């Protein structure tokens, strides 16, 4: 049997978070919650004779993305008409970019599960407009005779298309690349990444070639994937399907296919159209879009620190592991929250960034997951979090108690010191008091003491547990361990 190599290139469509649409003044509204056809005008409804005007903010956001993806920003841009008819496209053409896209020749480094980094080349990033939204009715809908509803609120929303070179080699790589593009767009605050709402859509082009050969095989394109899971699974399915066809001596048909999530298979949607089918030509209603060096430079200044740079900085400056650093930079809001904790100055001694990171990742994230919440939902400030960690580090409370205090803080938003005082949770660090409690545990458990003295060293932990129980978990564990060793040794 022939061994094949996968050849995959991704097309990603991302709506830009502008206030108004790409070529008219209509508001950009939430396509799920806004009443249908309430944000439209003659321009985005495709009425004859209407003139488009380029949205400057959309161009700016597109430049941001181009720069973040290491592209060259083209100074001379042309919008083009891509002609085709579909009910979600009232003009019968989409204004897009063809020969002169906004950004070219970028790249993005992705991390694979093996720990390796791989560079994926980006062919182009261009601006276009989104189409309307079609809803196909079934018998259970309000119109039992069936049909299709169309909502033009989305028609003309600024849309970015990001096209990779076909140097992706597996479903895993495709997923890692798409996840990272989404992360960067969210960092840049150009796209919410909300895949369920369709504002971020991924389409893989997939083909196989015999391993070791150069020529590309015939590709299929998967449409309408609405999750990263679907991207990885649909791609994996398609690779197996194509291998079976080729093994049987058949030929892959170039076509657009869909992914059926419940049946877990891809199915043919339509044969693939070629560029010539679209009869692209320069949009006569728009002047060329000239982008000056000054404009590019000024946009460069607005770029935030991107996740890779941030992660490297966290590792170098705070001695965080690669894993911890990745978790903290995954979302910009989380990284910001972490960075706010580092600016807290009224806790003495100040907990180390590493200690704060541990508390965030192990304890705060656990609570957030349990409540299915994000950092925006946390009821206390980063400073209050640092105060709690400070109370652990100056021995006011022990670790386990602090976890309970954090749970309480998470629910009520009250400061740690207040909770500790109200519940009498302060740690017992009084050596005499601990000595007394240990003595009592020893007196009350002569059999266990005898077993311990006869060599069952593991019983030490049991004694620690008894002392903790007697103090409701408040005893300072360091003192308990030290004292217990002394007092038991004396009995030998």
**What is the nearest approach in angstroms of ligand ADP to the Cβ of residue 427?**
59
DSSP state, residue 35: P
* Residue 13 or 354 with smaller CB distance to ligand ADP: 13
Query: How many Å apart are CA 386 and CA 409, to the nearest integer?
Result: 12
How far from 42 is each of 49, 83, 130, 321, CA to CA, in Å? Answer: 9, 19, 16, 55
* Closest residue by Cα to residue 411 from 380, 382, 386, 369: 380
Single out the segment in contact with ligand ADP by CB under 6 A; choices: 7-15, 45-53, 348-356, 483-491.
Answer: 7-15
**What is the Cα 232 distance to its own chain's centre?**
16
Helix, strand, or coil here: 47?
Answer: coil
* Residue 220 or 476 with smaller CB distance to ligand ADP: 220
Residue 31's contacts (CB-CB under 8 Å, 6 or more residues apart) are: 133, 151, 153, 154, 197, 198, 199
* Residue 278 or 295 with smaller CB distance to ligand ADP: 278
Q: Is residue 96 involved in binding ligand ADP (CB under 6 A)?
A: no
**What is the nearest approach in angstroms of ligand ADP to the Cβ of residue 11?**
5
**What is the nearest approach in angstroms of Zn ion to the Cβ of residue 37?**
11
* Residue 56 or 270 with smaller CB distance to ligand ADP: 270
- Enumerate residues 9-28 that contact ligand ADP by CB under 6 A: 9-11
- Enumerate residues 146-205 that contact ligand ADP by CB under 6 A: 163-166, 205
Q: Is residue 6 involved in binding Zn ion (CB under 5 A)?
A: no
* Residue 7 or 43 with smaller CB distance to Zn ion: 43
The Cα angle at residue 8 between residues 330 and 88, in degrees rounded to 5 = 80
* Residue 41 near which of ligand ADP, Zn ion, none (CB within 5-8 Å, type-dependent): Zn ion
Query: How many Å apart are CA 461 and CA 477, to the nearest integer?
Result: 11
* Residue 183 or 242 with smaller CB distance to ligand ADP: 242
* Residue 289 near which of ligand ADP, Zn ion, none (CB within 5-8 Å, type-dependent): none
**What is the nearest approach in angstroms of Zn ion to the Cβ of residue 94?**
15
DSSP state, residue 71: P
How far from 75 is each of 159, 289, 309, 335, CA to CA, in Å? Answer: 19, 8, 27, 34
By beta-carbon distance, which residue lies closest to ligand ADP?
Answer: 9
- Enumerate residues 44-63 that contact Zn ion by CB under 5 A: 44
466: tokens are 């008894």
Annotate 325-361 with DSSP letters as a single string. Answer: HHHHHSSHHHHHHHHHHHT--SSSSPPPHHHHHHIII
Single out the segment in contact with Zn ion by CB under 5 A; choices: 21-29, 186-194, 287-295, 468-476.
Answer: 21-29
Backbone angles phi, psi at 235, to 5 degrees: -65, -45
* Residue 24 near which of ligand ADP, Zn ion, none (CB within 5-8 Å, type-dependent): Zn ion
Query: How many Å apart are CA 50 and CA 45, to the nearest integer?
Result: 9
As a whole number of angstroms, the longest Cα–Cα distance in the chain is 101
Of 105, 216, 290, 395, the residue at the interface with ligand ADP (CB under 6 A) is 216
Q: Is residue 488 involved in binding Zn ion (CB under 5 A)?
A: no
DSSP state, residue 100: S
Query: How many Å apart are CA 164 and CA 172, to the nearest integer?
Result: 15
Query: How many Å apart are CA 300 and CA 283, to the nearest integer?
Result: 29
* Residue 44 near which of ligand ADP, Zn ion, none (CB within 5-8 Å, type-dependent): Zn ion
Residue 113-152 contact track with ligand ADP, rule CB under 6 A, x = bound: ----------------------------------------
Residue 256-275 contact track with ligand ADP, rule CB under 6 A, x = bound: -------------------x
Which residues in this chain contact ligand ADP in the complex, by CB under 6 A?
Answer: 7-11, 163-166, 205-207, 216, 219, 275
Which residues in this chain contact Zn ion in the complex, by CB under 5 A?
Answer: 24, 26, 41, 43-44
């Amino acid at each position: 049997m022939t061994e094949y190599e996968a050849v995959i290139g991704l097309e990603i469509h991302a709506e830009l978070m502008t206030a108004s649409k790409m070529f008219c003044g209509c508001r950009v509204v939430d396509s799920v919650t806004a009443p249908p056809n309430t944000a439209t005008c003659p321009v985005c409804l495709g009425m004859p004779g209407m003139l488009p005007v380029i949205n400057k903010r959309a161009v700016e956001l597109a430049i941001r993305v181009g720069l973040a993806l290491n592209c060259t920003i083209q100074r001379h841009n042309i919008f083009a008409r891509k002609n085709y008819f579909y009910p979600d496209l009232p003009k019968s053409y989409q204004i897009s970019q063809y020969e002169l896209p906004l950004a070219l020749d970028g790249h993005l480094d992705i991390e694979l599960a093996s720990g390796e980094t791989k560079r994926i080349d980006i062919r182009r990033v261009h601006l276009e407009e989104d189409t309307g939204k079609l809803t196909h009715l079934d018998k259970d809908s309000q119109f039992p005779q069936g049909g299709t509803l169309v909502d033009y609120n989305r028609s003309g929303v600024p849309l970015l298309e990001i096209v990779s070179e076909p140097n992706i080699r597996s479903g895993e790589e495709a997923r890692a690349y798409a996840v990272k593009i989404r992360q960067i767009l969210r960092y840049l605050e150009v796209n919410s990444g909300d895949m369920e709402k369709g504002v971020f859509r991924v389409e893989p082009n997939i083909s196989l070639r015999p391993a070791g050969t150069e020529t590309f095989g015939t590709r299929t394109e998967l449409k309408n994937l609405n999750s990263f899971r679907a991207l990885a699974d649909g791609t994996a399915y398609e690779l197996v399907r194509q291998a079976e066809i080729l093994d049987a001596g058949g030929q892959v048909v170039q076509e657009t296919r869909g992914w059926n999530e419940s049946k877990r298979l891809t199915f043919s949607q339509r044969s693939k159209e070629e560029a010539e089918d679209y009869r692209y030509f320069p949009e006569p209603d728009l002047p060329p879009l000239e982008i000056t060096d000054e404009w590019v430079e000024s946009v460069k200044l607005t770029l935030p620190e991107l996740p890779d740079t941030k992660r490297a900085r966290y590792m170098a400056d705070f001695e965080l592991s690669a894993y911890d650093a990745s978790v903290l930079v995954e979302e910009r809001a989380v990284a910001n929250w972490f960075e706010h904790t580092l600016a807290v100055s009224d806790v003495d001694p100040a907990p180390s960034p590493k200690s704060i990171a541990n508390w965030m990742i192990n304890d705060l994230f656990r609570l957030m997951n349990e409540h299915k919440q994000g950092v925006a939902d946390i009821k206390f400030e980063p400073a209050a979090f640092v105060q709690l960690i400070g109370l652990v580090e100056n021995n006011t409370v022990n670790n386990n108690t602090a976890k309970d205090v954090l749970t309480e803080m998470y629910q009520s938003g009250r400061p740690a010191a207040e909770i500790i005082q109200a519940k009498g949770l302060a740690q017992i660090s009084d050596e005499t008091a601990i000595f007394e409690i240990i003595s009592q545990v020893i007196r009350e458990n002569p059999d266990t003491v005898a077993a311990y003295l006869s060599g069952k060293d593991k019983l030490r932990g049991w004694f620690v547990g008894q002392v903790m129980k007697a103090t409701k978990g408040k005893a300072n564990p360091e003192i308990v361990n030290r004292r217990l060793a002394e007092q038991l040794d004396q009995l030998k």
